[in-house]
């Protein structure tokens, strides 16, 4: 139902829809618990808890989808693009055979990090015919893939920043309401017992106000930990792709006699 984003990037609308469903289920589960303190923390503290929960599940949806897409990307490492025949030599003359093998495995190699990297390198080898440039092309494409990896986490990084800030906003809002109510009491009465009672309400309100900060910090911590683990796995995959290219592509290159004599 959704168009998949390239590589391990995620369709934002799809992840948003999953987050909306998860948020609805979470608050639906709180309905039978409406009288409990836990439910009141998320339903009786203004709009901030709702926003924190929505961004939390949106972040989880993005990261979980990335994990599944990364698993699919890792499967490409199992394929042998260059023929295993030890007599096979990768050169501009044999690029067509390797490209045909590539399209036998997948319909769109550009959707896969490893296959896209190899296809670009082979296209340059076929067009330019310079074997010595292939390693540099693969290295340059690897750097571009690392840049793409960083940008794919931009939305989640923004949410990790925004979630605790929302918690602080909820706390400030609660503090202002509590202190404002206490100021009203001070201006309208001089009875010490009433002032003491109002002060108890203020301190109780302060405890409630800091709940949103707690929610924001806990949610941001969980997202950050999952983000770090996911990003580490993706970085390891890029390293495996580079090693695959060195072993199975660059390592199968051979200079023709003409190229050896011309120093190309």
Ranges of H-type helices in the chain: 12-30, 37-43, 48-74, 95-105, 113-128, 134-152, 154-188, 192-248, 257-262
Cα dist from 44 to 35, 72, 144, 233, whole Å: 11, 42, 47, 39
Cα dist from 123 to 136, 137, 154, 225, 259, whole Å: 14, 10, 31, 40, 18
Query: pTM of the predicted model, to two decimals?
Result: 0.83
CA distance 196 to 192: 6
pLDDT at 232 over 60: yes
Half-sphere exposure (Cβ direction) of 218: Cα atoms closer than 13 Å: 8
What ranges do the domains of the chain cover?
12-167+221-256
pLDDT of the residue at 207? 63
Least confident range of 3-12, 71-80, 146-155, 159-168: 3-12
Cα dist from 203 to 177, 181, 197, 214, 215, whole Å: 12, 11, 10, 17, 19
pLDDT of the residue at 1? 65
CA distance 237 to 145: 11
Pseudo-torsion of CA 77, 111, 92, 237, nearest 10°?
-30
Q: Which of 54-58, 76-80, 195-199, 210-214 has the highest mean pLDDT?
A: 54-58
Query: Which residues, in sequence order, are CB contacts of 231 under 8 Å at separation 6+?
Result: 149, 153
- Residue 90, φ and ψ in degrees, nearest 5: -80, 120
User: What average pLDDT does the structure give for the chain?
Assistant: 83
Name the residue with higher pLDDT: 80 or 135: 80
Averaged pLDDT for residues 248-262 = 60
pLDDT at 4 over 80: no
Sequence length of the chain is 264
pLDDT at 263 over 60: no
pLDDT band at 257 (very low <50, low <70, confident <90, very high): very low
Handedness of CA 111, 113, 116, 120 (dihedral sign): positive
pLDDT of the residue at 188? 64
Share of the chain above pLDDT 70, in %: 81
Averaged pLDDT for residues 188-197 = 64
pLDDT at 193 over 80: no
Cα dist from 231 to 48, 91, 98, 234, whole Å: 28, 35, 31, 5
Averaged pLDDT for residues 79-96 = 82
Residue 93, classed as helix, strand or coil, is: coil
pLDDT of the residue at 230? 96
């Amino acid at each position: 139902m959704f168009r998949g984003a390239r590589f391990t990037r995620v369709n934002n609308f799809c992840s948003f829809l999953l987050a909306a469903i998860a948020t609805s289920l979470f608050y639906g589960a709180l309905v039978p618990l409406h009288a409990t303190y836990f439910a009141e923390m998320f339903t009786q503290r203004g709009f901030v808890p709702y926003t924190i929960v929505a961004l939390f599940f949106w972040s989880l949806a993005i990261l979980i989808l990335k994990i599944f897409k990364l698993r699919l990307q890792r499967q490409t490492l199992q394929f042998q693009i260059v023929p295993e025949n030890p007599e096979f030599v990768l050169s501009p003359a044999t690029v067509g055979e390797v490209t045909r093998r590539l399209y036998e495995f997948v319909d769109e190699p550009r959707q896969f990090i490893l296959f896209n990297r190899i296809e670009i390198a082979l296209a340059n080898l076929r067009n330019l015919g310079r074997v010595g440039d292939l390693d540099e092309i693969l290295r340059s494409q690897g750097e571009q893939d690392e840049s793409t990896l960083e940008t794919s986490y931009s939305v989640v990084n923004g949410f990790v920043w925004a979630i605790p800030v929302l918690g602080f906003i909820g706390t400030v809002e609660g503090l202002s309401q509590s202190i404002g109510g206490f100021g009203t009491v001070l201006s309208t009465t001089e009875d010490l017992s009433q002032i003491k009672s109002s002060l108890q309400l203020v301190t109780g309100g302060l405890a409630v106000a800091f709940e949103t900060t707690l929610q924001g910090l806990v949610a941001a911590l969980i997202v950050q930990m999952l983000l770090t683990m996911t990003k580490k796995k993706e970085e390891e995959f890029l390293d495996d792709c580079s090693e695959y290219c060195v072993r199975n592509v660059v390592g199968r290159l051979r200079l023709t006699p003409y190229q050896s004599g011309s120093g190309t």
